[in-house]
Amino acid sequence: TIRELFRKLSESHPGMEAHIKRGVAVSIDGKIYRDQWDTELPEGAEIYLMPRIPGG
């Protein structure tokens, strides 16, 4: 899941945790997820982490 990805990234790269807590969006194969952290990650998926950009 996306949540598990965040956990593993925080364990292997401690500096990432602060960025994740500030807010990120996750792109999985071109589809953006903002708060669906229980979404499964398909094997071989292309995953990008992007900072959230506030605005309106």
Q: What is the pLDDT of residues 20-46, one digit of tens each?
A: 888 889 999 999 998 899 999 999 999
Examine residue 11 and state whether it is found in any structural domain, yes or no. yes
Tokens of 16: 């990432």
Q: Which of 20, 17, 12, 24 is nearest to 54 (CA)?
A: 24
Examine residue 29 and state whether it is found in any structural domain, yes or no. yes
Q: What is the pLDDT of residue 23?
A: 86
Instruction: Provide the residue range defining the domain that includes 43.
Output: 2-51
Q: What is the pLDDT of residue 7?
A: 93
Average pLDDT of the residues of the chain: 90
Answer yes or no: is pLDDT of 56 > 70. no
Q: What is the pLDDT of residue 41?
A: 95
Examine residue 18 and state whether it is found in any structural domain, yes or no. yes
Do residues 47 and 28 make contact, with C-beta atoms less than 8 angstroms apart? Answer: yes
Do residues 51 and 28 make contact, with C-beta atoms less than 8 angstroms apart? Answer: no
How many domains, in total, are found in the chain? 1
Examine residue 9 and state whether it is found in any structural domain, yes or no. yes
Examine residue 56 and state whether it is found in any structural domain, yes or no. no
How is the beta sheet containing 24-28 ordered, strand by strand?
31-33, 24-28, 47-51
Q: How far apart (Å, rounded) are the C-alpha atoms in residues 45 and 43? A: 6
